[in-house]
């Protein structure tokens, strides 16, 4: 064997080997075999405290709130997938949001995309505004001019909060362009990208210049609807910010349990496999919805005719672009996989939307997203119900908008389920409307007859 080859963790490679790929990192980072037993999967370290050989002399752990082997392993794994240096895990996505905002200090100003997740909107406007005097401006980061975006930044602006695609209208933000603008401003705000909808597989915001990446781990990263968690990932250049966030993580104690971290690390290992299937299924379903006579509009940035399709393509991570390049021409004839979320507007309004959600067999009516099972919900009355109706409608969250989280089932089965639910919902809704119209007309005729306007006809 050449001396230029080394054996490391069972993998033979040269001294100057290329970096491991996304799937390899997902499986191996944070899951090095145990030095004690050789176990290939980390054990669950449930202990709340750890033995010290002398005062302050220990194996890296003192108390589980401050540090835990399972949390460390998960944080390390996610940081590698986001091409970052520091991963910091929290008990929920909401706790993650709260910690970031707390780190800004009192009297700060935040610019947030106007189509921000309802829970983020609630925390910014109802909690942080009262507890730390936070000011927030919601800006259309998709269509606003450079001048309008720059003018929204104040001397005390500490953070710009981006989601792309947004939840649930799937508006695509030109993330590199926003980062360029924000970083050019004298206030030097940080740019955070909530990457929950695309996952580290389809998007790599740190490679685009973002300062912080956030995930609700509950969704795609865990992927099995059995863990509530959140995580932040930061690049090497933000070591001091990472230290501050780590301090707040420990001080507030909003940490995930060792078991949740163990489950989420297991979920990470199948993330690339799941995201490919989510994307392929979503693309097929979006194309099917386009052909449905019961649908007013389909929103999926991966579709070729989507208004921001070119920007969506440009935002793809290197590993997602590589995956798409391998797909047959017939698969990408009308678009490309771009995550697993599809939204659409159903004909017949709120009544038809609610009926659709009770007629599906495989799509479970439930909040959340990103699991292997398919889910469906009505954002206006569920996930975004905390946003005032007038504000919801301004950003397109109307009562006829349905959000689908496309799972990993056989896509033909999912299509059949959507087809039958649409037919039942819209046909029944139309029938009810027609029946109501007849009843109203008949009632009007009775009134006219009583008033002697014209004779009543059966």
Catalytic-role residue among 71, 219, 347, 359: 219
- Residue 422's pLDDT is 98
pLDDT band at 455 (very low <50, low <70, confident <90, very high): very low
Active-site annotation holds for 219: yes
β-pairing, 190-194 with 157-163? parallel
Quick one: 72 and 127 in the same domain? yes
Whether residue 447 is contained in a domain is answered as no
CA dist 159 and 127 (Å) reads 17
Looking at the predicted structure, is the pLDDT value of residue 454 above 60? Answer: no
Quick one: 176 and 254 in the same domain? yes
Whether residue 454 is contained in a domain is answered as no
Residues 6+ positions from 388 with CB-CB distance below 8 Å: none
Quick one: 229 and 359 in the same domain? no
Q: Rounded to the nearest 5 degrees, what angle is found at the Cα of 79, between the Cα atoms of 77 and 81?
A: 75
For the chain, what percent of residues have pLDDT higher than 70? 90
Catalytic-role residue among 72, 115, 117, 399: 117
Looking at the predicted structure, is the pLDDT value of residue 371 above 50? Answer: yes
Quick one: 359 and 310 in the same domain? yes
The structure tokens 């460390």 sit at 72
- The model carries a pTM of 0.89
Cα radius of gyration rounded to whole Å, the chain? 25
Any idea what DSSP says for residue 292? -
Looking at the predicted structure, is the pLDDT value of residue 165 above 60? Answer: yes
Looking at the predicted structure, is the pLDDT value of residue 22 above 60? Answer: yes
Give, for 199, the enclosing helix (H) or strand (E).
helix 199-202
Mean pLDDT of 106-117: 95
Quick one: 373 and 406 in the same domain? yes
Which tokens in the block code for residue 444?
A: 């009007």
- Residue 444's pLDDT is 53
382 neighbors 401 (Cβ within 8 angstroms): no
Give which of 394, 406, 284 is closest to 343, Cα–Cα: 406
Give which of 409, 399, 394 is closest to 378, Cα–Cα: 399
Active-site annotation holds for 194: yes
CA dist 418 and 423 (Å) reads 9
Quick one: 89 and 212 in the same domain? yes
Quick one: 233 and 277 in the same domain? no
- Residue 445's pLDDT is 53
Whether residue 456 is contained in a domain is answered as no
CA dist 17 and 6 (Å) reads 10
223 neighbors 370 (Cβ within 8 angstroms): yes
Mean confidence (pLDDT) of the chain: 91
The residue ranges of DSSP E strands in 38-104, in sequence order, are 86-90
- Residue 386's pLDDT is 74
**Residue 35 vs residue 336, higher pLDDT:** 336
- Residue 335's pLDDT is 98
Residues 6+ positions from 211 with CB-CB distance below 8 Å: 190, 191, 192, 234, 235, 238, 241
Find the domain containing 392 and state its range: 271-433
Quick one: 293 and 232 in the same domain? no
Quick one: 276 and 179 in the same domain? no
Looking at the predicted structure, is the pLDDT value of residue 456 above 50? Answer: no
- Residue 447's pLDDT is 43
CA dist 232 and 254 (Å) reads 13
Looking at the predicted structure, is the pLDDT value of residue 430 above 60? Answer: no
Catalytic-role residue among 20, 61, 65, 76: 65
Whether residue 2 is contained in a domain is answered as no
Whether residue 450 is contained in a domain is answered as no
CATH number, residue 319: 3.90.1150.10
Whether residue 16 is contained in a domain is answered as no
Catalytic-role residue among 72, 115, 174, 194: 194
Give me the count of residues in the chain. Answer: 458
Any idea what DSSP says for residue 403? E
Active-site annotation holds for 117: yes
β-pairing, 135-139 with 109-113? parallel
Per residue in 296-355, pLDDT (tens digit) is 999 999 999 999 999 999 999 999 999 999 999 999 999 999 999 999 999 999 999 999
Count of helix runs (H) and strand runs (E) in the chain: 16, 14
Whether residue 238 is contained in a domain is answered as yes
Per residue in 184-233, pLDDT (tens digit) is 999 999 999 999 999 999 999 999 999 999 999 999 999 999 999 999 99
Whether residue 159 is contained in a domain is answered as yes
Per residue in 253-299, pLDDT (tens digit) is 999 999 999 999 999 999 999 999 999 999 999 999 999 999 999 99
Give which of 240, 267, 263 is closest to 71, Cα–Cα: 263
């Amino acid at each position: 064997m050449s001396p230029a080859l080394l054996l490391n963790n069972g993998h033979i490679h040269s001294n100057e080997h290329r970096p491991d790929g996304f799937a390899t990192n997902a499986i191996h980072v944070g899951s090095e075999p145990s030095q004690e037993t050789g176990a290939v999967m980390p054990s669950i370290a449930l202990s709340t405290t750890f033995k010290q050989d002398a005062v302050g002399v220990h194996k890296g752990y003192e108390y589980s709130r401050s540090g835990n082997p399972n949390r460390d392993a998960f944080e390390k794994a996610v940081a590698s997938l986001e091409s970052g240096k520091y991963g910091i895990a929290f008990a929920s996505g909401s706790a993650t949001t709260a910690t970031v905002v707390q780190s800004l200090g009192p009297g700060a100003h935040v610019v947030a995309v106007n189509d921000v997740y309802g829970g983020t909107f609630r925390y910014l406007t109802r909690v942080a505004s009262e507890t730390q005097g936070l000011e927030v401006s919601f800006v259309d980061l998709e269509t606003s001019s450079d001048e309008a975006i720059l003018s929204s930044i104040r001397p005390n602006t500490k953070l710009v909060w981006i989601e792309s695609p947004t939840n649930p209208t799937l508006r695509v933000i030109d993330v590199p362009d926003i980062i360029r603008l924000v970083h050019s401003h004298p206030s030097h705000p940080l740019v955070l990208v909530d990457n929950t909808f695309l996952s580290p597989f389809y998007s790599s915001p740190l490679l685009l210049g973002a300062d912080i990446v956030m995930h609700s781990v509950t969704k795609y990263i865990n992927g099995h609807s059995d863990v509530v968690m959140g995580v932040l990932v930061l690049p090497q250049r933000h070591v001091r910010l990472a230290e501050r966030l780590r301090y707040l993580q420990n001080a507030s104690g909003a940490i995930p349990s060792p078991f949740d971290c163990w489950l989420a690390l297991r979920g990470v290992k199948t993330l690339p496999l799941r995201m490919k299937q989510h994307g392929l299924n979503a693309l097929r379903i979006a194309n099917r919805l386009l052909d449905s006579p019961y649908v007013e509009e389909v929103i999926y940035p991966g579709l070729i005719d989507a208004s921001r399709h070119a920007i969506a393509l440009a935002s793809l991570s290197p590993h997602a672009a590589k995956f798409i390049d391998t797909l047959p021409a017939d698969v990408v004839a009308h678009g490309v996989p771009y995550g697993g979320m599809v939204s659409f507007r159903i004909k017949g309004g709120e009544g038809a939307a609610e009926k659709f959600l009770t007629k599906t067999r495989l799509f479970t009516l439930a909040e959340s997203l990103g699991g292997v099972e398919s889910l469906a919900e009505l954002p206006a009355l569920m996930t975004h119900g905390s946003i005032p109706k007038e504000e919801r409608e301004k950003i397109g969250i109307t009562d006829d908008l349905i959000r689908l989280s496309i799972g990993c089932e056989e896509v033909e089965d999912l299509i059949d389920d959507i087809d039958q639910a649409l037919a039942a919902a819209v046909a029944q809704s139309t029938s009810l409307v027609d029946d109501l119209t007849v009843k109203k007309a008949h009632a009007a005729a009775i009134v006219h007859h009583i008033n002697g306007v014209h004779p009543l006809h059966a």
